[in-house]
Chain A
């Protein structure tokens, strides 16, 4: 018993949570130790998730809590998708935490690290849980800690952005809660597999309204157009580590939640076509809004919005290929966008300005950071040999494979958006390298800031050159993510 306890996936949630609770006490012993706690927690999570990955690829693990069988108690559904996300969360979390050691100096440092850890815990909880209300609870953990962290800098922009985010996010949460209420009213259970099992027995408008409420509610976090108005403000005024987490993880979690609910509870239906269109609209609007931005963090924030659209589109194609492409794009975006935000964080920190013009000639003043920034940008545009290329390729492939005219048109629009994206990103590259710097002196980058960024850059190149690494995992994940029947079967056994 004891030997297998350490492999129990529930530890992925509980350990960071416990560490976060324990932080104040450690803070009393020594203040400096606090900043290493998130590293510890995420290192643990990363190790455990990587260890679990090969196991769940064959058979997803069901973990019941409190010792009762589902649907009576909450259960975790630890499938490949969940572990994939968990790996991403803990990887980016770990790197960002390392980055944060020297980056976060002002303000309530101890509280920052606690919230940081809690945010990641919330994200992990969402992707692992198999209970709709539990999902909501973790969703709230994620959201509320991100509201607080957006305001961490305590400047006017930050507080304003956090307030807007709070209002919109709470509205979204209210919708989700309402939706859960409807489902509970209809089925008398909160277990997702249980609801999924019974959903065909009910044909009621309430079902659709619940779905609409879920899409809207989670959509706020997932930055679907037009629910994403909070995003540019929040992502640009948060501290860069938090922007990296928000852009790299939080919004993907929103997407995960939408599609988990749609795939598992409601199954495939016509709403996916609508979502695909909305996805492309989001993509276009995001990229076009980014086009003329002069604030580097806002450019990145709008670009995140666009990427969300792309992912939503991919996941709504409704084939295993599409889902696999969408998951791939999530990995791409997580790695690239956190890389970009971390790089930009350092640039902004050094130049004290977020204006694009302040980046003039930084390629000479901080060569390594600029190089890595370039890698991230190329990857987002989808240029080989970086990770963005295979992921975009598989999305387009999946879209065209359907053979439907609608998807053909959407893909053409998507490619147009790519052109726009390419132009503004290339413009930034030119600003970095081909404009005269105002000063010549070079910046010295501390190792703790450099290390995470280098790791991300290496991953982007490595997977970009050899995407076969992920192929199998993605395909298997997509299969399980999509397959409602096997989900029910796995949860209830037999």
Chain B
């Protein structure tokens, strides 16, 4: 009985949403705002990656919010798992290959991650992606050496600094440019590393913060 009801409900919702989707002119010329971004994005921000300039400048506030959500996720996990002792489970030592491989790969993964977020304003990629890559480095290192711990305090400090500095940059923008998160630094030459004003700075912060948060989450969950 229950199943039939839920089936009927789902069918109705499906019909409704189907109607709706079928009417939406995706990709038609109504996208005035995105056109503006495409036409003026590079000029206004000096970042050759339009997506990045949308994410960090036009909608930088959203990004701050998303960063916060991730942050909340990490602390929320901390709250729920607080005082959860790992009961000295027998953790099997991983194989030698994993052991050696992880030692070898760890710095390269870090490096790659850093590359991704530093070049976020030039090429596809950015802070979130770079952060995720960094976190995967920590994951591998964890798999290689399950008994080794990174300092939780360290993670907290990094997270905290990343977020605080983000906001400080925004406030600086408010102070100097009159708008929160306004791009106060010189735009530089398009397509060079030092361009796009505050965008690369923000991405670095995001990258570090996301990396630290994800790594923290991974360690918490692994335990």
Contact = CB atoms under 8 A, between A and B. Distances in A.
B182 A111 contact: no
B37 A115 contact: no
Interface string A1-39: 110010010110010011011111101100000000000
Contacts of B183: 66-67
Contacts of A107: 79, 82-83
B61 interface: yes
A20 B164 CA distance: 9
A118 B160 contact: no
A185 B24 contact: yes
Contacts of B162: 21
B20 interface: yes
B175 A2 contact: yes
B170 A111 contact: no
A118 B72 contact: yes
B6 to A, nearest CB: 13
B72 A65 contact: no
Q: Is the interface of A mostly helix, strand, loop or mixed?
A: helix
Given A67-B183, A206-B23, A140 B69 contact: yes
Contacts of A5: 174-175
Interface string B1-36: 000000000000000110111011110001111101
Contact of A186 (B30, B69, B83): B30
A141 B64 CA distance: 11
A462 interface: no
B163 interface: yes
Interface residues of B, number: 63
A64 B179 contact: yes
Contacts of B80: 148, 151, 154, 159, 162
A134 interface: yes
A210 interface: yes
A461 to B, nearest CB: 36
Contacts of B201: none
Nearest to B30: A188
B197 to A, nearest CB: 11
Given A74-B59, A194-B33, A210-B20, A141 B68 contact: yes
A67 B182 contact: yes
Interface string A321-357: 0000000000000000000000000000000000000
A144 B73 contact: yes
A195 to B, nearest CB: 11
Interface string B161-191: 1111011101101110111111100000000
Interface of B: 16-17, 19-21, 23-26, 30-34, 36-37, 44, 57-62, 64-66, 68-69, 71-73, 75-80, 82-83, 153, 156-157, 159-164, 166-168, 170-171, 173-175, 177-183
Given A63-B180, A206-B23, 6 more contacts: A8-B180, A20-B163, A21-B71, A21-B163, A121-B68, A205-B16
